[in-house]
Amino acid sequence: MTVSFERRGDIAVALVDRPPVNAIDAEVRTGVLQAAQRAAADATIRALVVACRGRTFMSGADLSELGSTIPPPPYSEVLQALEDCNKPVVAAMHGTTLGGGLELAMACHYRCAVAGTRLGMPEITLGILPGAGGTQRLPRLVGMEHALDLLLSGTPIDAARALELGLVDEIVGADVIEGGVEYASRLLAMGAGPRPTASRPGPRGPLDEPTLAGALERHARALRGRTTQKSVFEALRAASELPISEGLKVEARLSAESLESAESRALRHVFFAERACSRIPGIDTSSGAAAELRRVAVIGAGTMGSGISMALADAGIPVSLIEKDRAALDRGLGIIRENYAQSAKRGRIDEATGQARQALIAGSLSLEPARDADLVIEAVFEDFDLKRSLLVEVDSIVSADAIIASNTSSLSLTALAAATRQPERVIGLHFFSPANVMRLLEIVRGARTSDATIRAGLALARKLRKTGVVVGDGFGFVGNRMMLDGYFREAELLLLQGVAPERIDSAMEEFGFAMGPNRVNDMAGIDVGTRVRQELTRRETRPPPYHVVSDALTALGHVGQKVGRGIYRYAPGSRSPLPDPELAPLVRALADKYGIAPREVSAGEIEQRCVLSLVNVGAQILDEGLAYRAADIDVIWTSGYGFPRSRGGPMFHADTLGLGRVVEAIERLGSSGDAHYWRVSPLLQGLAATGRTFADWDRSRES
């Protein structure tokens, strides 16, 4: 039963039980409404407690309901019944009380929570304005400033902080139902009655320009390229100026509008895509299916090796960080020490946590520790022969059921694995720098990699709280392939056609990327790209010009920010790009060499060519079976390459544009003769011709 109604003497308990996160759907609303009506009508009941079974209180509205008309009863009716109940109503919370779940709790008269409960309004991360009274009741409970922060950040707070702010009235013991009942009986004993939030005085604190400006500044990074904040301000203004009944109407209108927005559709797509990518057809990837990791060995203490070691230690996994020479090992351990010190200094973790995590990482100058590791990850220099001989050595000493992983970003995983005795236990774990921060993990499946090894890769991603996406072992896997064969290649062609790097970057930043392609190239290190391409083109070649500007800059040593010069110049200690007057003649000379004439290119064309190059290469990758879903590609680009989440990823964005229009545009680009690679991928052609979308394609493969 989704909502059961139980009695504890004269206290009734409405218990919601809808695994896995008690998301609120029509059944939950119906059950809670009936419980409120029953408690109100039954004279033997003196109080009602609303609580949940399972790992959490209600974690919000059921997002799958939000795509269409929400079935009855409406949230407003359910929450009004709780608020108007003639008996005290207590919300007893645990786990992650989010969105509509917190709104329901705010419509109750009293709120108690187990210590450690997380409470928040994450709707803005989904491009939604809360629609169940949150923007009207929250400021009445915590004041305008804190309401602004909770609604604009979408970040939950814990129960202790919620108590400070007045969002929670009481912290109760670990058994939330008993704690709720006990708290309700104490309230009754104190003669407490119903305490509708609506009857509280209007929100404390101004909603004036300085307050709004301050809030926008505090959340500038999260709100970059977003629009939902405007509705938040309008709804809060209604909360401060109108009676709550009118404020609720304003909120309901704005929330309904936000649900229809392209921004929200895109963000909800990414939400579900990030959860779907761990489902691999034919493999049971549910948690617990993979063996527990007791110890991991990481070989290579460079930037990637030390970052990967931190990601493992942050997840509580003991790590042996192995290097061949002392200096390199000390440098790696030094990077780790410094990073933890910085995190503690910035208050991201406390000193003790930093110490404890460091203590999980043990340096070694021999491969010995790998002998009893459950997983060995090599992160040495990107050289095929070096990696192969290392994997062969590791393969000869590790236990039979240990997993061997390579952090290669360009080499053939299948070829590396073929050198070992058990290729089925070799997997690619392509972390992104900084590996302890970046959420994306490309899990590369070699030709012989077993289902069990894939399962272990996905379980590791879950353990590291990363988004693991399984990809095929092709040229540059998925992310790098799309960057090199699409986005960055097109950005280079624009340079060769005489377009200034600033114009290319600002067009893509306007589109929503945090940083344009040239600035990313300089930040990541132009030489890194050159080296990856040198290895890649050992697998497959590409007709010139193929990243000739970057390779020329690498040859000159102008490898980016780290040397103060790349596509741009950088003043010492600064990351702000400055034009480099010597770039244009270098590019002009290369353009002449490849017969590329300069021409006028609008910002719209820059955006179109860069984005559609991603879409077309993405479709080729799907055609070649190197990604399971178009949605997986969206996850890779939004969580690993800075593609704006509010556009849903390149494939979702193409669906939004309409694949017919996308094909027309690519055909036009193809006929311009600018570049030979503008040929519509067969999959894209087929979908457009049949009026279907990438989302349809994904669905057709799931059934």
Q: Are 495 and 345 in contact (CB under 8 A)?
A: no
Edge-to-edge, what's the strand order for the sheet holding 170-172?
Answer: 3-8, 11-16, 47-52, 89-93, 110-114, 170-172
19-27, 141-149, 598-606, 622-630 -> range binding ligand T1G (CB under 6 A): 19-27
Q: Are 336 and 361 in contact (CB under 8 A)?
A: yes
37-45, 93-101, 368-376, 556-564 -> range binding ligand T1G (CB under 6 A): 93-101
- Both structure tokens of 680: 């519509």
20 is a contact residue toward ligand T1G (CB under 6 A): yes
Cα-Cα end-to-end distance for the chain: 29
Q: What is the DSSP letter of 485?
A: I
58-66, 478-486, 512-520, 560-568 -> range binding ligand T1G (CB under 6 A): 58-66
Report phi then psi at 365, rounded to 5: -105, 10
461 is a contact residue toward ligand T1G (CB under 6 A): no
Q: Given candidates 23, 163, 277, 471, which one binds ligand T1G under the rule CB under 6 A?
A: 23
Q: Given candidates 40, 81, 117, 123, which one binds ligand T1G under the rule CB under 6 A?
A: 123
267 is a contact residue toward ligand T1G (CB under 6 A): no
Residue count of the chain, please give it: 703
**Minimum gap (Å) between residue 340 Cβ and ligand T1G:** 25
Q: Given candidates 103, 395, 442, 522, which one binds ligand T1G under the rule CB under 6 A?
A: 103
Cα separation values, 315 from 173, 436, 465, 648, Å: 27, 10, 8, 29
Task: Let me know if 123 is a catalytic residue.
Answer: yes
124-132, 191-199, 287-295, 435-443 -> range binding ligand T1G (CB under 6 A): 124-132
Edge-to-edge, what's the strand order for the sheet holding 157-158?
Answer: 96-98, 118-120, 157-158
**Minimum gap (Å) between residue 245 Cβ and ligand T1G:** 18
Dihedral Cα 435, 441, 447, 451, nearest 10 deg:
120
**CA dist., res. 278 & res. 283, Å (int):** 10
Nearer to ligand T1G, 107 or 484 (CB): 107
**Minimum gap (Å) between residue 76 Cβ and ligand T1G:** 10
Q: Given candidates 4, 64, 396, 574, which one binds ligand T1G under the rule CB under 6 A?
A: 64
Q: Which residues contact 369 (CB under 8 A, 6 or more apart)?
A: 295, 297, 320, 322, 362
Q: Which residues of 291-324 are buried (b: 16+ CB within 10 A; e: fewer)?
A: eebebbbbbbbebbbbbbbbbbbbbebbbbbbbe
Nearer to ligand T1G, 462 or 542 (CB): 462
**CA dist., res. 222 & res. 538, Å (int):** 40
Q: Are 373 and 296 in contact (CB under 8 A)?
A: yes
Nearer to ligand T1G, 130 or 369 (CB): 130
Give the SS3 label for residue 421: coil
**Minimum gap (Å) between residue 634 Cβ and ligand T1G:** 16
Strands 426-431 and 403-406: parallel
What residues from 512 to 551 belong to the interface with ligand T1G (CB under 6 A)?
A: none
Q: Given candidates 39, 61, 151, 427, which one binds ligand T1G under the rule CB under 6 A?
A: 61
**Minimum gap (Å) between residue 464 Cβ and ligand T1G:** 13
Smallest CA-to-CA distance from 434 within 300, 308, 323, 342 is with 308
Q: Given candidates 26, 63, 328, 438, which one binds ligand T1G under the rule CB under 6 A?
A: 63
Give the SS3 label for residue 613: helix
286 is a contact residue toward ligand T1G (CB under 6 A): no
What residues from 467 to 506 belong to the interface with ligand T1G (CB under 6 A)?
A: none
Q: Given candidates 31, 88, 127, 130, which one binds ligand T1G under the rule CB under 6 A?
A: 130
Q: Given candidates 275, 294, 593, 701, which one binds ligand T1G under the rule CB under 6 A?
A: 275
Across the chain, which distance is largest between two alpha carbons, in Å?
90
Q: Are 522 and 567 in contact (CB under 8 A)?
A: yes
Dihedral Cα 644, 650, 654, 659, nearest 10 deg:
180
62 is a contact residue toward ligand T1G (CB under 6 A): yes
Locate tokens 């780790």: which residue? Answer: 336
312 is a contact residue toward ligand T1G (CB under 6 A): no
Give the SS3 label for residue 175: coil
**Minimum gap (Å) between residue 257 Cβ and ligand T1G:** 13
Number of Cβ atoms within 10 Å of the Cβ of 285: 18
126 is a contact residue toward ligand T1G (CB under 6 A): yes
- Both structure tokens of 587: 């590019």
Q: Are 240 and 139 in contact (CB under 8 A)?
A: yes
Q: Given candidates 12, 18, 40, 59, which one binds ligand T1G under the rule CB under 6 A?
A: 59
**Minimum gap (Å) between residue 205 Cβ and ligand T1G:** 22
Give the SS3 label for residue 429: strand
Q: Given candidates 79, 92, 98, 273, which one binds ligand T1G under the rule CB under 6 A?
A: 98
Q: How many residues bind ligand T1G (CB under 6 A)?
A: 24
Number of Cβ atoms within 10 Å of the Cβ of 689: 11
99 is a contact residue toward ligand T1G (CB under 6 A): yes
Task: Let me know if 103 is a catalytic residue.
Answer: yes
**Minimum gap (Å) between residue 132 Cβ and ligand T1G:** 4
What residues from 131 to 190 belong to the interface with ligand T1G (CB under 6 A)?
A: 131-132, 134
Residues in contact with ligand T1G, shown as a per-residue x/- string from 630 to 649 under the rule CB under 6 A: --------------------
577 is a contact residue toward ligand T1G (CB under 6 A): no
**Minimum gap (Å) between residue 125 Cβ and ligand T1G:** 7
Q: Given candidates 29, 79, 119, 122, which one binds ligand T1G under the rule CB under 6 A?
A: 122
Cα separation values, 567 from 308, 465, 607, Å: 29, 35, 19
- Both structure tokens of 187: 């309230």
Nearer to ligand T1G, 227 or 534 (CB): 227
Smallest CA-to-CA distance from 520 within 613, 633, 643 is with 643
Write down the catalytic residue from 6, 65, 123, 382: 123
The CA R_g of the chain, rounded to the nearest whole Å, is 28
Nearer to ligand T1G, 198 or 549 (CB): 198
Write down the catalytic residue from 83, 103, 182, 378: 103
119-127, 143-151, 206-214, 528-536 -> range binding ligand T1G (CB under 6 A): 119-127
**Minimum gap (Å) between residue 689 Cβ and ligand T1G:** 32
Catalytic residues: 103, 123
Residue numbers of the site for ligand T1G (CB under 6 A)?
20-21, 23, 59-64, 75, 96, 98-100, 103, 122-123, 126, 128, 130-132, 134, 275
